[in-house]
Amino acid sequence: MCINNYYIGLHMEVEELTVAYSDEDTGEEVIKEIGKEVLSKGAWPTVMFFYQERDPKSGEFTEPKVSLRRYRKMAGNFKPQGKFKITGKAQAEAIIEVLKKWYNI
């Protein structure tokens, strides 16, 4: 559960973090998580989420997006510290090409 930007859970594990969200009044799924990778664990975990958002006008889910998120674990709870959103395939491909170049992959 997320309250005031804290993910609350007794002894919560990083694998339990999610971007999935449903409207509290209607129960309608607003953000659908379709993939997740834990990139690092510990006191400062990093998680990459693959998700879709529901378009409020059409009611359809958008093209998938990626969000890289960094959390800080304090007293068993996770507090978001930073995030970056990759909004489409073209941006993802550009990032991949730069990383390949920098790391000589």
Residue 67 has a CB neighbour count (10 Å cut-off) of 18
d(CA 20, CA 15): 13
Residue 2: pLDDT band by 50, 70, 90 thresholds? low
The answer to whether 77 and 8 have CB atoms below 8 angstroms apart is yes
Say yes or no to pLDDT of 98 above 80.
yes
Beta-strand ranges (E) seen in 6-45 are 6-7, 21-22, 29-40
Full domain range(s) for residue 93: 2-103
pLDDT of residue 56: 93
How much is the pTM? 0.86
pLDDT of residue 12: 82
Least confident of 8-12, 17-21, 65-69: 8-12
Mean pLDDT of 43-70: 96
Distance from C-alpha of 7 to C-alpha of 87, rounded to nearest angstrom? 24
In the chain, how many domains are there?
A: 1
**For residue 5, is pLDDT > 70?**
no
